[in-house]
Chains A and B, each alone.
Chain A
């Protein structure tokens, strides 16, 4: 599969992508994994191009990952945080888009707290837009890096049994992963208390479990989700103690999965809330650090393809 198979101007979500498009991005990222392990990590194929990281929500790891990905491709990267910028002074999203557009960017990476906000912004700019997480909607590069991590460990995605556990309701990571994994032929289960499983999720092609022991039985992959502490105030769960007891991943529950099941987490982890420390640090089975490594490679592939497609879209400017 060649990277030319991905012909879209943007990457706003996984929903709607075809298997060959996903495979094209993963194949390309695979090459960058090796490059990132070399002493000289830079191939300045995008020298002279510009990329802006526009983050309306605080983020360290995703922003750093995109920044590193851009720099290793030789693209000039600018970081914008909403705090302290004109956005915080009340500039509207559309005005921000129009302003940035006037600066002739090639790639715009956006994270926003509202679902659909990145799509709204992408309608107003000429550059390629990467959704780095919009509300509870999608976080496509996270799903791609998860897929790359799994593929490198297992060699394939189809036929694998994957359990996504915890706060599915508020998770864009869960949605993107569900779309990607079902598209690639994996069998996906979601596990969580009824308050944290959104209605109608079964129509996305997943099996729903409310008993984590049942849900984990025989799975190849366990994806834990971060539980946001503020959920407690809204009565989604009664306490951390109770949540961990029933839905936290510990050695005992882990034993129900396949003996070689991989443990994943998008980070940052709440140790002792959704995942026990000795599970998170499990030497053979936890791939949480690998996920972070794959993140840079995947983002390099996405930045590269969008920067290229953007040249085509602008008639080879």
Chain B
């Protein structure tokens, strides 16, 4: 058991300090950097150490690498309670901090479903005990996430639920969705949708030529498009705050763009597989690439990249979905959906920077300040007085992801074996180093 003492003062120097919230991107210098005091940020700036380092401070030389706010991951399946053989709050916490993530928001599709106050409090309490990445929870939008009766959103929010979703299931019934949006708006709460019309989504991979070749039932892109279009109409009708999770098609980007242009309270996120992979990853029946929504065409992948570049997509979330070997070493049609993603969220996002699709500040905004502000979290930014949740990473250092060595209990990554560039060196939560790169 690690000693959980927080050093009183830590001086981070010789760092390229980036704060996407304010647009700060300061070159490394020995006179400047960031100072934490206890659990909070005490000072940031290019001259804060100009007249010497504060007395008694622990000094961390960041080696000229990036110092940024810790990542905020708003779509994680924690599997605890109920499926601790796949993941626990502790194993997810370890994997998260190894990936530079300091805050994550868990989906409610645990067993039991997170649809009452006690369950919300359980997650928060366990996460505090573990002391790794901060864990927040979504409340189920409907009771038992069955899509029939809206949940006690007001009470759940008071207990700490950040927003409401049925997790990996869509709120499919239009009347239920209408009421959920209306009722949530009463308290200024947000509904997060898994945008997939279930009656069209009985397949197992993207519909099209490859599905035909493999003899697998396809999920047409229209399953996503239709539900998004419908939901936008319901947002128009109700004025409810709506967020579409993990969008995957080019049309989805256009639908969200048009909704935003019309001033509707609509946002969206995507996940690394949808901008880094396409459906060819499932060739040879690779069940680790069986995701929900399914990996789409190369044109879709490019459209998602463009959506990230021009700001239509507000956030990138890992969509971490741990599955044990027994759920994945099966014929493709019966294998479970989902891939793990906590450890690769930063590095796969940085691919966009290395390819020149995004600048580094924008990329970090998409995995930090962007999602944090959607959830109303005091995270994802560097601010004097704010919690010292930080990541130090070498944006250039290459590594090969070996999912077998994942700190997650499950190893089902669609990025297994991928050569990545960008290595987390240190992760700090509330002023305390919780992960340190061991070369």
Contacts and interface: CB of A to CB of B under 8 A. Distances in A.
B331 A137 contact: no
A201 B218 CA distance: 13
A116 B216 contact: yes
B331 A93 contact: yes
Given A199-B208, A200-B208, A137 B215 contact: yes
Nearest to A169: B212
A175 interface: yes
Contacts of A112: 331
B159 to A, nearest CB: 40
Interface string A94-112: 1000000000000000001
B208 A116 contact: no
Interface string A120-138: 1000000000000011111
A201 B208 CA distance: 8
A116 B214 contact: yes
Contacts of B216: 115-116, 135-137
A204 B213 CA distance: 8
A112 B332 CA distance: 12
A135 B284 CA distance: 14
Nearest to A117: B331
A228 to B, nearest CB: 14
A119 interface: yes
B200 to A, nearest CB: 13
Contacts of B285: 115-116, 119-120
A172 interface: yes
A94 B329 contact: yes
A116 B282 CA distance: 11
A138 B210 CA distance: 14
A204 B212 contact: yes
A136 B207 CA distance: 14
A114 B216 CA distance: 8
A93 B284 CA distance: 17
B218 A172 contact: no
Contact of B215 (A175, A199, A200, A203): A175
Contacts of A115: 214-216, 285, 331-333
Contacts of B215: 115-116, 134-138, 172, 175
B211 interface: yes
Interface string B194-218: 0000000000000111111111111
Contacts of A114: 331-334
B326 interface: yes
Nearest to A119: B285
A92 B331 contact: no
A200 B212 contact: yes
B273 to A, nearest CB: 20
Contacts of B330: 92-93, 120
B280 to A, nearest CB: 14
Interface in B253-285: 284-285
B331 A199 contact: no
Interface range for B: 20 to 34
Most A CB contacts (10 A, CB to CB) among B218, B329, B332 go to B332
A203 B213 CA distance: 10
Contact of B212 (A93, A117, A198): A198
Contact of A15 (B211, B213, B332): B213
Given A115-B285, A136-B215, A137-B214, A199 B329 contact: no
A135 B211 CA distance: 12
A201 B210 CA distance: 9
Interface string A188-224: 0000000000111101100000000000000000000
Interface in A126-160: 134-138
B332 A199 contact: no
Interface in B203-242: 207-218
A132 to B, nearest CB: 14
Nearest to A234: B202
Contacts of B326: 92
Nearest to B332: A116
A198 B331 contact: no
Contacts of B210: 200
A137 B331 CA distance: 12
A82 to B, nearest CB: 13
B387 to A, nearest CB: 46
Contacts of A201: 209, 212
B331 A116 contact: yes
B106 to A, nearest CB: 29
A9 to B, nearest CB: 16
A117 B285 CA distance: 9
Contacts of A120: 285, 329-331
B333 to A, nearest CB: 5
A143 to B, nearest CB: 14
A289 to B, nearest CB: 28
A75 to B, nearest CB: 27
Contacts of B214: 115-116, 137
Interface in B164-209: 207-209
Contacts of B212: 175, 198-201, 204
Nearest to A137: B215
A182 B330 CA distance: 31
Contacts of B207: 199
Contacts of A172: 215
B209 A203 contact: yes
B214 to A, nearest CB: 6
A93 B325 CA distance: 13
A175 B209 CA distance: 12
Nearest to B210: A200
A138 B212 CA distance: 11
A218 to B, nearest CB: 26
Contacts of A134: 215
Given A137-B215, A200-B209, 13 more contacts: A15-B213, A116-B333, A120-B329, A120-B330, A120-B331, A138-B215, A175-B215, A199-B207, A199-B211, A199-B218, A200-B210, A203-B209, A204-B212
Interface of B: 207-218, 284-285, 326, 329-334
17 contacts: A92-B329, A92-B330, A93-B330, A94-B329, A114-B331, A115-B285, A115-B332, A116-B333, A137-B215, A137-B216, A175-B212, A175-B215, A199-B208, A199-B212, A200-B209, A201-B209, A201-B212
